Amino acid sequence: MVLTDNVRGAILMTVSMAAFVVNDTMMKVTFETLPVAQTLFFRGLMASSMILAMAAYTGALRYRPPRRDRWPLALRLIGEVGATSSFMLALANTPIANAVAVLQAAPLFVTMAAALFLGETVRWRRWSAIGVGFIGMLIIVQPGAEGFDAYALYAVLTVLFITARDIGTRNLSEGTPTLWASATSALVVTVGAGLIIPLEGWRPMGRSEFALSFGASLFVIIGYVTHVGSVRLGEISAVAPFRYTVLIWALMLGFFVFGEMPNALTLLGSVIVTAAGLYTIWREQAVGQSDAARAVSRPFGSDVRPPPR
């Protein structure tokens, strides 16, 4: 097999998803003996140190955001703190595969928010995919069912915070260094977790807790680095579908580490959300190519609009 940039990007995306799930697994194990805020704080200290070192090495720490980035940056940080906190609460109290499956609806919600708040064009086919994905998410959460777990709503809240974070990120200036944005987010999440520790209480940490916290911070960094590498190497349309391998990793680790096996409705909802997400990726690529072709063939100054989809 020839290792083209797209193949390398797909491999890196798969590795990234595996690293994120390993991080989630280590955090979930740690939650069995330590409060959520304390665990987040220690992981944050280690992860922040690594990211700050990388940012300092690349010179990203010298960046100063322009005045126009004030509100996008605030929205991004609020979204990051909210998403991290709500997802950790979902992870601590629900099966890992369930929590991860709900998160796969996030790209659909970002597409919807971009249309509503940023004026991006989203036509009926992608709106339909968003609706189908929402139905899939409801099937996973199963509101009103006999076995409904209210903690699953934390995963839904995570999707909303991720949407806010990504909308803020899209509005940042193009020259904003990725490492600067990541370091800022990591520091804010760490400080926020530290402020919550007195409310949850403090428990002594043993060697296993330190080891798990260090491992989680290491794998979350690996996840971020490989994710960025995958997007830079390969085309989005070729790389993005491999983000859904996160469900496979979550199912495997959930079963082998925690003995968790999602029910049939959760599996069905996961398939629906994944299918809707994959369709949206394909449709965005098709629309992009179609619009590019029209831009080339259309006379300069023409006001002819493309037909609605």
As given in the structure block, the two tokens for residue 299 are: 């006379």
Which amino acid type is present at position 74?
A
Whether the predicted pLDDT of 134 surpasses 70: yes
SS (H, E, C) 202-231: CCCCCHHHHHHHHHHHHHHHHHHHHHHHHH
Classified as helix, coil or strand, 155 is helix
Same domain, 270 and 138: yes
> Which pLDDT band, with edges at 50, 70 and 90, does 288 fall under?
low
Which domain, by its residues, includes 218? Answer: 1-34+203-259
Residue 268 and residue 254 share a domain: no
Contacts of 2 (CB under 8 A, 6+ apart): none
Do residue 86 and residue 232 come from a single domain?
no
> What's the total number of domains in the chain?
2
**46, burial (CB in 10 Å: exposed 0-12, middle 13-18, buried 19+):** buried
In a domain, 71, yes or no: yes
How many C-beta neighbours within 10 Å does residue 237 have? 15
Classify the C-alpha dihedral 91-47-223-192 as positive or negative: positive
Tell me whether residue 49 is in a domain: no
Average pLDDT in the 63-90 region?
A: 93
Residue 131 sits in the same domain as residue 115: yes
> How many residues are there in the chain?
309
Report in angstroms the alpha-carbon separations of 49 from 45, 104, 185, 237. Answer: 6, 29, 12, 33
The answer on pLDDT for 147 being more than 80 is no
Count of C-beta atoms within a 10 Å radius of residue 63: 16
Q: Indicate whether 19 and 69 sit together in one domain.
A: no
Residues 238 and 167 in one domain: no
pTM of the complete model:
0.85
59 belongs to a structural domain:
no
Selection from 241, 78, 227, 50 nearest residue 165 by Cα: 78
Gap between the Cα atoms of 23 and 241, Å rounded: 21
Question: Could you report the per-residue pLDDT of 208-229, keeping only the tens digit for each?
Answer: 999 999 999 999 999 988 987 8
Q: Are residues 73 and 86 in the same domain?
A: yes
Summarize the confidence of residues 46-67 as an average pLDDT.
Answer: 92
